[in-house]
A and B are shown apart, each in its own frame.
Chain A
Amino acid sequence: MPTVSFGNHICQLQDGETVLDGLLRHGIPVAHACKAGSCGSCMLRAISGGIPESAQAGLKDSWRAQGCFLPCVCHPISDLTLAEPGVGARVDARIASVRLLSADVIRVHLAPEREFEYRPGQYLTLFASPTLARSYSIASLPSDGFMELHVRRTRNGLMSGWLFGEARPRDAVQLQGPLGDCFYTCGNEDQPLLLAGTGTGLAPLYGVLRDALSSGHRGPIMLFHGALGPEGLYLGDELRSLSSRYPNFTYTPTTDPIDRVVAAQVPKTTGYRAFLCGDPAVVQLLKRKIFLAGAAMREIHSDSFLPAIL
């Protein structure tokens, strides 16, 4: 079994063990969240040794070129020497404001201390400390001058607990990213857009929506936001006000199963571009139904919000 060196630590992986599980088993602190190769929280860099391509899937080319990879999905093919992701991977930032949007969702504004390029709807990894990281979608536009995240309070959540209870303006954090391909691209301004999500899956959709509107998208834009109860349908006033300003934008909040609401209003999706975000089971169900209703798979962008696994 391969040996992994990280700083002063050396650990021997067990059969079938990922690099992350090996490091954690040896008590080496590494920030992590989804443990599924998606959120980017545990990203490290290999100084020597062979990294399977699958452990670099979804990472930026410039990161891959530096040897960055996701240890939570890495079964190495040789001994590895690891380091932190390195200069340039993380950007210092400060909390600008934290405000309640509903009983259990807050709007966090961040001020990066140097340029952090992103497309609205992509996601970043927020580091509250070197070992506490979670990923969140970006709801703002670069022209807003701040970065906006929507954070739901989760039971015993370490990051959401900190953000809801203790975080104050000017607190220092770090940002890594962005990742993901759930964003608007210009070039087909008359195409109908279908945006659907549950809970804080609204955050990337809100970013995509405002990006499309400010880019002059002319085709219909339909936003469906699902929640278990009416209190989960946050940002309703802002979205209703956008729909009265832009005749091509319709906003449908619902507490019914969102896949049925979408299917009833958009029975045929041929030619549509779709963005689907939030609960993984709902995203997969919507994706399947929207594909079967005619949309091309490459026109369906999705982002499943995976829970943190401690």
Chain B
Amino acid sequence: MHNMSSPTSSLFEQIGGQPAVEAAVDNFYRRVLSDDTVSHFFDTVDLDRQRAKQKAFLTMAFGGPHNYSGKDMRTAHARLVVAGLNDAHFDAIVGHLGGTLAELGVAPELIAQVAAIAESTRADVLGR
């Protein structure tokens, strides 16, 4: 048995699990849509579907249960790479992720772990 505060609890548990994803998703999506350098990649007709994708991404980045494979990441972003998705955009998203977590009061060392998980997808997302 271990509890939430135990040093062995997972990153996902330490951040606060699914409720933390729910708390973060509007904040994160609003930052992304308000950033003119990246908003066009996210500005689809269907905001609800896009928000669901953001939730799946945050769950993964928070170290939670997810079904993403590197191949999925590649396929899902291939169209965006053709449209010009590059390192600067990727950095901006990781920045917004950190901004959201800081605003929600998540400890800097946990934010660094989230950023590292996001970083691990860079090559797949950018199709390299």
- Chain A interface (Cβ within 8 Å of chain B)? 284, 287-288, 291-292, 296-297
Contacts and interface: CB of A to CB of B under 8 A. Distances in A.
Contact of B26 (A284, A287, A288, A296): A296
Nearest to B54: A297
Interface stretch (B10-18, B45-53, B64-72, B94-102): B45-53
A292 B47 contact: no
13 contacts: A284-B45, A284-B47, A287-B47, A288-B43, A288-B47, A291-B29, A291-B30, A292-B33, A297-B26, A297-B29, A297-B47, A297-B48, A297-B51
A287 B34 CA distance: 14
Nearest to A293: B30
Given A291-B29, A291-B47, A297-B47, 15 more contacts: A284-B45, A284-B47, A287-B47, A288-B33, A288-B43, A288-B47, A291-B26, A291-B30, A292-B30, A292-B33, A292-B34, A296-B26, A297-B29, A297-B48, A297-B51
If over half of B's interface residues share one DSSP class (helix, strand or loop), that class is named, otherwise mixed; here it is helix
Contacts of B25: 297
Nearest to A295: B26
A73 to B, nearest CB: 14
A288 B30 CA distance: 9
A306 B25 CA distance: 28
A297 B46 CA distance: 12
Nearest to A281: B45
Residue picked from A287, A288, A297, most chain B C-beta under 10 Å? A297
Interface string B19-39: 000000110011001100000
Nearest to B30: A292
A290 to B, nearest CB: 10
Contacts of B30: 291-292
Contacts of B48: 297
